[in-house]
Structure 1
Amino acid sequence: MNGVEYSGGNKKLKIALCAVNTRYSQSAAALDYLSGYLYKYLDFKNISRGLYELKTFEFNLGDTHEFVTRTLCSHGADIYCFSIYIWNRDFIKKVISFIRSAFPEALTLAGGPEAISVCRGDVEAMCGAEYAISGEGEISFARFVELAVDAVRTGGERWTMDAERLMHIDGIAHSPAGGGFRYSSEPAVVGDLDSLPSIFVKEGGPDARGGRNFVYLETSRGCPNHCHYCLSSLKPKSGPAVRYFSLERVFADIDRIMNDLKIDKVRVIDRTFNDDPERALAIFRYIASRARPDTLFQFEISPYKFTGPIVDFLKNLDRRCFQFEIGVQSFNRKALDSVGRVNSEPKAAETAVEEPAGGAGTGRAGDMLDILINETKVNIHADLMYGLPGDNYDDCVNSFDTLLKKMPDSVQFWQLKLLRGTRLRENASKMGLVYDPNPPYAVIKTPSISVLEMFRLQKLGRYLDIIYNHGHLKLSVRALFNLSARPSEFFFQLIEFFERNGIAETAISRQNLFSYVRRFAEEKVRPASEAKYSVLLDCLRFDFIAGESKRFSLPDFLKPEKMRRDQGLFGYIQDSVLRPDSAVKLSRAFSLFRFDNDIVEAASGTELFADGSGFGLNAAEPSRRGAYMAVRHVANADGTFGSRRYWFNDPGDFLALDYFYCADKNGRFPPAEGDFDGACYRAFLEGFPARVEKYIGYGIVVSQNKSRQERAND
């Protein structure tokens, strides 16, 4: 044989397949695909499983280098294989260096997105490993292991890999310790995706690795676009750019997920799911007909490839079972052209939205976002990039404001990364792009954006996460945006407030976040309008209540300054419950809250105020009519906690509140008919206001704190 000698230590080849995730909750689907195809391939080749042993390892970046190396090396593997991404590159590079120093006879093999550029002669992409596979690794990894098993079988304790046979493997690269570098010029590609075993059919069962509340699902590989910053722009020279699993295979995987796994989210990792709109609609329909109410399917979607039938289907969908990740990147056409998104928008006749006359407005991407956000129940997560070659600082801020005004569920404001193997990285020097050489390779400055401007955009993205994306301040953010001419103006004012007061932008607790925003509003909003400040406090109260599941108390800084006694029902309840000598106690399953302003419609996601008044800089003073809320705290069947909120505006018009009783001081409950003054009140589940003649008890605590359970339907 023509090769390098290794000391295997035994005649059974031991393989360690390793992933390092960002956190424990993350999962590495690559391990499932690689191991699944390996078993299928070697079984087909009649290679006994007694000749090799495969073990998978998953770590996260919270694990120490010592723990990872100790765990891996204790296994005593002959081949150590690593899936490498920008977030774990430096970590894994240290691990590989340790293994090659401690056990020079062991083989190390690198793969994953960070290894893609080895097919272009980038030896640094191997992270110090002796071997690497560029591209889709299932078939190439199986052939690599086949050669190793054959070498062990014929060579015994001292075996060698045949270097010449090795270089016939698609996507392979070899950088031996003695020097030299050989590589395949094409990344590996799997042509028939249905040949890959389903990762949801495993020997250990469908949840063999367990512990996660989500799974990854693939329905295709490849991408039709040619974005210069994206690894998906690297196309195979032969064969289609996009390959599909058959619909039968996709539907079977969806059935297995729905029937066998109890998970909250399915992350569909296709690069452009709706590239084939008819196929996408068929899968949407199949999911909607089978998905459980608590399962969300997440897709990466092109805003330019929505057809009328897809839009009509989404508009008529009566529940939230989809989340769309939509890459807008910029609203500046020049910037999109500069990075190869020239053909993102197909002919208008092919889409559900017409091109605005003269190119006005935000184009089809913006118009499609408006439809999805305002007319469907789809969760919308939109992406923007700053640092694109065709954008200057003002362009980036304008795109930020344009997108935030649409109020999608979340917005990621990303700094452009120059990934290994991409065209943008190769042309960075020519284009005047300066980037950090360390992962994640963020652009530091461009010809039109200075370093200081890049820092300012970084802060905008960080505070966007804190205030907007975390979802703690959904109603309050709407009000705060309306108080500024542009969303970015509010954010820059908030950034200045945080920095001036020495508030760190990291590790902010939820309660402290509400406290800081209230202090900001007191400084910025209250001097201009006491009434609008009052409304903003009510928005903060609502957001705080909405984010709590177990029973809680409002923090002092969010409590109304005066807890007034109102006439009618609410006043009676407050007097009865809060009076020190009262025998009537509110069940601990309930909390009662008062709001100074009528924010019922705003909390429902419609107008900011029920009376139609606005909250902008030039709007009239808002209504001061109050609103009230009862919250019932519930324990769910799965052991988690939740709550149900019940609004009412006019206490005197209601006979009672939903879900609980109030009794008089003697614990008397009212008859089916008669005078309800000073007695028990109840509003039934739907259709209030109305006089109720049937009563259901829910454990109200009466005199001497004894629990009383009324019989149902008395």
Structure 2
Amino acid sequence: MKNIILTTLNARYSHTSLGLRYLIANLKELKEQAEILEFVINSSVQTIAEQILEKKPKIIGIAVYIWNAFDVGELVKVIKKVSPNTMVILGGPEVSYTPLRVNFDMADYIICGEGEVSFYNLCKELLEGNCTQSRVINSPKVDFEKIALPYDDYTDFDIKNRHIYVENARGCPFECEFCLSSIETKMRYLDIDIFLEQIEKLWIRGARSFKFIDRTFNIKISYAKAILNYFLAKKEDYFLHFEVIPDNFPEELRDLIKQFKEGCLQLEVGIQTLNLDVAKEIRRNLKIDKIKDNLRFLSQETHAHMHIDLIIGLPSESIESFGKNLNQLYTLSTGEIQVGILKKLSGTTLDRHDKIYGMVYNDSPPYDILQNDLISFSQMQEMKRFARFWDIVYNSGNFQKTTALLFEDGKVFENFYDLSKWLYKRSESTYKISLDRMAEFLFEYMSKNHDKELIANTILEDVMKVGGRKIPPFLKKIIPETYDFAQKDVSKANKRQQLRSN
């Protein structure tokens, strides 16, 4: 039995909540009375409530994010109906800024902002029975170097089975209007020696998969160098994920990144748009020449795997402008291009564009854009399906040679836009499409403009590049069963698929 249960619903089983571990690490004398229970979105809300209430807690703290907000709202209702005397405290980015667009009225307390200190103070008062705090607590920013660090609160099970999330800095120096990180433009850093001591403790315990949540890992070069040098000194395999800005890769940083082996380093590169006029509208600083040069460097001279972000629906950006961005990025990088849909998060200043550009958003999570003055609702729906099919076909890595053939004329956006509309009409779905089924769809579509035998052999090479797969039945009708397919780079393909799954 525990007096305090800290919980959240993660997006995937492999994820862990760094925020919950910060809270439990800072509970001081109350820590022995607390326990973390983590769940996954789309699980049964009643089952989650049952497992939490089995502990008979007096206090339940729930971390709320955009991906779990609706489920948390339902969870709070169930808990308060079944156990009305249990105190429910909400925190996290989804409840830290108004307006709240999910009904959390049944929650007893909401902590807005960084909760490491405020959560402890509230729990202490509640357990002592003399709480005088208001329902909504506006928590000030904590002293990053004085709070207890959370890394000892990763369990051995976490280390063996899940990603370990870490942070060396809070804040972001930029003011991009679609991002909550832009609210705090002053950077706060943890002393680099203290941080690396914590990483070393995790390493000794067996941690090998680290995801850094710092928004701009490469903004402070001295810290970035220290962290990269730390891992380069390790002889065992590991996986690192960093969010980086695309225009700050000086030679001293390049020299280090080039030393990482394949499969070790993944970079999330925030581009969002290459249109300077659009970037100016959303207060995003773009240095196009540096971006192009750095993307070429990362693609051609390193083994880093890249996730490059582009957004559909930004104020003043048309579909044609987005298409030009995609065509250009395809020529600059071999990495995944993450096609995202614009979301209007509470706390950002994005709403200042609503009247000017006719921006209309979904009122429910994930608060995605429905239409604007340049992109109609039906076109936005097409683009959302485009993004989904892009993930299945291009970003999955399952059809690298096939897509290269599809894009051989350089019209990446135009050709895939046509394909995505055809795929939706053909399949009437964007989900639950097997690899073999998608391969057959691609053959059917591309056979209109390409030699059938060429398409069949290209798709076969893609499908069979990972060991253990069988030739799709439809291809056996086209390619003789005696076809001798030499599996090339199977180990490399397996590594690539494993990396993409992260």
TM-score scaled by length of structure 1: 0.64
Q: Is the contact made by 1:80 and 1:109 (CA closer than 8 Å) also made in structure 2?
A: yes
**Other structure's SS at 2:484 match:** strand
Match of 1:67 in 2: 47
Shift of 1:427: 5.6
Match of 1:129 in 2: 107
The answer on 1:144 being equivalent to 2:122 is yes
- Structure 1: which 5+ residue stretches go unaligned? 1-11, 152-159, 167-173, 176-181, 346-361, 527-532, 565-592, 596-627, 643-714
Q: How many residues align?
A: 493
Match of 1:289 in 2: 233
Match of 2:316 in 1: 390
Q: 1:291 to 1:91 in 2, by over 3 A?
A: farther
Matches within 5 A, 1:424-573: 424-425=350-351, 428-429=354-355, 432-482=358-408, 484-502=409-427, 504-526=429-451, 533-548=452-467, 550=468, 552-559=469-476, 561-562=479-480
Q: Is the contact made by 1:96 and 1:127 (CA closer than 8 Å) also made in structure 2?
A: no
Give the letter aligned to residue 285 of structure 1: N
**Other structure's SS at 1:524 match:** coil
- Structure 2: which 5+ residue stretches go unaligned? none
Q: 1:23 aligns with which of 7, 12, 21?
A: 12
**Other structure's SS at 1:394 match:** helix
Give the letter aligned to residue 391 of structure 1: E
Matches within 5 A, 1:614-693: 628-629=486-487
Equivalents in 1 of 2:43, 2:425: separation in Å?
36
Q: Is the contact made by 2:402 and 2:462 (CA closer than 8 Å) also made in structure 1?
A: yes
Equivalents in 1 of 2:198, 2:103: separation in Å?
34
Q: 1:555 to 1:420 in 2, by over 3 A?
A: same
Q: 1:339 aligns with which of 282, 285, 290?
A: 282
Shift of 1:414: 0.7
Q: Is the contact made by 1:329 and 1:383 (CA closer than 8 Å) also made in structure 2?
A: yes
Q: Is the contact made by 1:231 and 1:419 (CA closer than 8 Å) also made in structure 2?
A: yes
Equivalents in 2 of 1:538, 1:445: separation in Å?
41
Equivalents in 1 of 2:118, 2:148: separation in Å?
13
Q: 2:149 aligns with which of 184, 192, 197?
A: 197
Equivalents in 2 of 1:629, 1:442: separation in Å?
42
Shift of 1:106: 2.4
Shift of 1:300: 0.2
Give the letter aligned to residue 81 of structure 1: G
The answer on 1:416 being equivalent to 2:335 is no
**Other structure's SS at 2:402 match:** helix
The answer on 1:207 being equivalent to 2:131 is no
Give the letter aligned to residue 73 of structure 1: L
Is 498-507 or 469-478 further displaced after alignment? 498-507
Give the letter aligned to residue 29 of structure 1: L
**Other structure's SS at 1:117 match:** coil
Shift of 1:381: 0.8
Q: Is the contact made by 1:27 and 1:212 (CA closer than 8 Å) also made in structure 2?
A: no
The answer on 1:268 being equivalent to 2:194 is no
Q: Is the contact made by 2:2 and 2:56 (CA closer than 8 Å) also made in structure 1?
A: no
Equivalents in 1 of 2:17, 2:47: separation in Å?
19
RMSD: 2.9
TM-score scaled by length of structure 2: 0.89
Shift of 1:439: 0.7
Larger helix fraction of residues: 2
Q: Is the contact made by 1:268 and 1:299 (CA closer than 8 Å) also made in structure 2?
A: yes
Q: Is the contact made by 1:381 and 1:408 (CA closer than 8 Å) also made in structure 2?
A: no
Give the letter aligned to residue 11 of structure 2: T
- Which of 1 and 2 has higher RCO (CA within 8 Å, sep 6+)? 2
Give the letter aligned to residue 173 of structure 2: P
Q: 1:404 to 1:524 in 2, by over 3 A?
A: same
**Other structure's SS at 1:197 match:** coil
Q: 1:21 to 1:337 in 2, by over 3 A?
A: same
The structure with more radius of gyration: 1
The answer on 1:116 being equivalent to 2:93 is no
Q: 1:563 to 1:428 in 2, by over 3 A?
A: closer
Give the letter aligned to residue 335 of structure 1: V
